[in-house]
């Protein structure tokens, strides 16, 4: 399971401030977007919700079961986001919501003009590595685990929406929205390549590079040689890789090794040292520092937490 970064908490409304116990809605409007905070304080099933624009929804607390068109229902938990296309009907169940266990979710509706201008700018100034490919919001990878970068920018938009009352509020929101859209497309790209790199490896340079990294993750990988394997100049490869995925190749390799180490640490028979070297790290102290920075806890604390 990918690491999931939870968002900052938004205060729960007092019961006397609620208009309804199911999907009570607080709205914060700006020029190019509208932030909605929904709260549900009792169990409910098949609650319908629809927006005219693309909307980014993010769980803050509690659990939903989300049903989207042509997709099986899925649990929706804090640390996760769902991108919903315009006019798509969401059917939502609240199996655990209650007075003391409310569900809270935000929905950020983004204007079509903001999305189009951002994508146009990216396609003009930051063309994709593969000819014919363009930047876009995918309708395939909608359910995402929040990475650190995505969580940070969503938190910034929450802060602007709820707390910023300056004259520059809309300007700040528009700048943050552009970054959010880039982060979303990079997150979708990573999800797409994670699921399809074997199929892509024969005809897509980044698909091939991802496959090579995964197959050699426990060995020493010469990052500078990856550009040769991608048939690109070193500078162009590093630039395009980071534009596509939001990480440098070295960052991607590090995150892959930490992901593998987490898997090894789930076995109580593996020590931290064993997990370190089995995951391809060459230095135990570096592994512990990198793991704590990425996961938020030391490898030993992570392993002990799994056993509680």
**Last residue in a domain, options 157, 181, 198:** 198
d(CA 145, CA 211): 22
Are residues 164 and 180 located together in one domain of the fold? yes
Reported confidence tier of residue 15, pLDDT bands at 50, 70, 90: confident
How many domains, the chain?
2
Q: How confident is the model at residue 16 (pLDDT cuts 50, 70, 90)?
A: confident
36-52 average pLDDT score = 96
Please indicate, yes or no, whether residues 173 and 205 belong to a single structural domain of this protein. Answer: no
Q: Which of 198, 224, 258 is the last residue of a domain?
A: 198
Q: Are 146 and 90 found together in one domain?
A: yes
* Whether residue 65 has pLDDT greater than 80: yes
Q: What is the pLDDT of residue 308?
A: 60
- Specify whether 190 is located in the same domain as 246: no
d(CA 185, CA 244): 8
CATH number of the domain enclosing 4? 2.60.120.280
Residues 52 and 10 in one domain: yes
CATH number, residue 207:
1.10.10.60
- List the structure tokens of 276: 């370190």
When comparing pLDDT for 62 and 305, which is higher? 62
Does 91 lie in the same domain as 225? no
CB 7 within 8 A of CB 57: no
Chain segment 154-201, per-residue pLDDT in tens: 999 999 999 998 999 999 999 999 999 999 999 999 999 999 999 999
Domain boundary among 181, 198, 215: 198
For residue 233, give its domain range: 201-308
Specify whether 255 is located in the same domain as 115. no
């Amino acid at each position: 399971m990918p690491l999931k970064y939870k968002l900052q908490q938004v205060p729960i409304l007092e019961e006397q401030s609620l208009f309804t116990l199911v999907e009570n809605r607080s709205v914060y409007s700006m020029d190019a977007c509208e932030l909605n905070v929904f709260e549900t304080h009792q169990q409910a099933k098949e609650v319908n919700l629809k927006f005219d624009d693309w909307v980014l929804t993010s769980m803050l607390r509690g659990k939903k079961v989300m049903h989207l068109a042509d997709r099986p229902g899925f649990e929706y938990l804090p640390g996760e986001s769902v991108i919903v296309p315009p006019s798509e009907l969401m059917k939502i169940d609240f199996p655990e919501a209650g007075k003391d266990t409310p569900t809270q979710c935000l929905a950020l509706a983004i204007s079509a003009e903001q999305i189009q201008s951002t994508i146009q700018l990216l396609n003009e100034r930051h063309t994709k590595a593969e000819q014919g490919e363009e930047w876009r919001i995918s309708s395939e990878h909608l359910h995402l685990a929040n990475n650190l970068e995505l969580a940070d920018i969503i938190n910034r938009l929450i802060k602007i929406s709820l707390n910023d009352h300056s004259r520059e509020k809309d300007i700040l929101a528009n700048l943050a929205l552009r970054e959010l859209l880039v982060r979303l497309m990079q997150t979708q790209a990573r999800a797409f390549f994670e699921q399809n790199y074997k199929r892509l490896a024969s005809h897509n340079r980044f698909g091939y590079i991802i496959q090579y990294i995964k197959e050699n993750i426990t060995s020493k990988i010469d990052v500078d040689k990856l550009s040769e394997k991608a048939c690109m100049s070193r500078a162009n490869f590093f630039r395009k890789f980071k534009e596509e995925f939001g990480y440098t190749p070295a960052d991607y390799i590090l995150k892959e090794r930490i992901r593998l180490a987490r898997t090894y640490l789930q076995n109580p028979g593996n020590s931290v040292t064993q997990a370190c070297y089995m995951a391809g790290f060459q230095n135990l102290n570096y592994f512990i520092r990198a793991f704590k920075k990425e996961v938020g806890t030391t490898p030993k604390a992570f392993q002990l937490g799994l056993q509680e």
